[in-house]
Amino acid sequence: DQQVKQNSPSLSVQEGRISILNCDYTNSMFDYFLWYKKYPAEGPTFLISISSIKDKNEDGRFTVFLNKSAKHLSLHIVPSQPGDSAVYFCAASRIHTPLVFGKGTRLSVIA
């Protein structure tokens, strides 16, 4: 059973607009959530994270929102740039257990 779900396999956004990537999880024991970005032929790279004690974390153009009651998190990218085109993975963890990844969402930012 998938514990971390990214229900949108792909998303297209115009340059300069907001990109919103969504992620749902089923395990209420998860206490830390991360977003990774992956370009073709490269390994995933860490983008931003959030602890379950927070509901928002911001880093430049990237903001992650966590809604614990809905078991939902989202990544906002504002403004979107062509270089943001990549696959984005949501991941979740709880203490002493490995990260669990979603299947990823391919973001295409169109100039």
**Which of 9, 18, 58, 78 touches other proteins by CB under 8 A?**
9
Residues 24-83 that bind other proteins (CB under 8 A): 32, 34, 36, 41-46, 49
The residue among 23, 19, 1 whose CA lies nearest residue 70 is 23
> Chain centroid to CA 27: how far?
17
Answer for the pair 91, 102: CB distance below 8 angstroms, yes or no: yes
47 or 77: CB nearest other proteins: 47
β-sheet bridge partners, residue 25: 4
32 or 65: CB nearest other proteins: 32
3 state DSSP class of 14 = strand
**Choices 12-20, 63-71, 74-82, 89-97; region in contact with other proteins by CB under 8 A:** 89-97
102 or 107: CB nearest other proteins: 102
Distances (CA, A) of 14 to 27, 50, 79, 81, 91: 34, 27, 9, 8, 26
**Which of 64, 93, 107, 109 touches other proteins by CB under 8 A?**
93
Q: What is the contact surface with other proteins in residues (CB under 8 A)?
A: 6, 9, 32, 34, 36, 41-46, 49, 89, 93-104
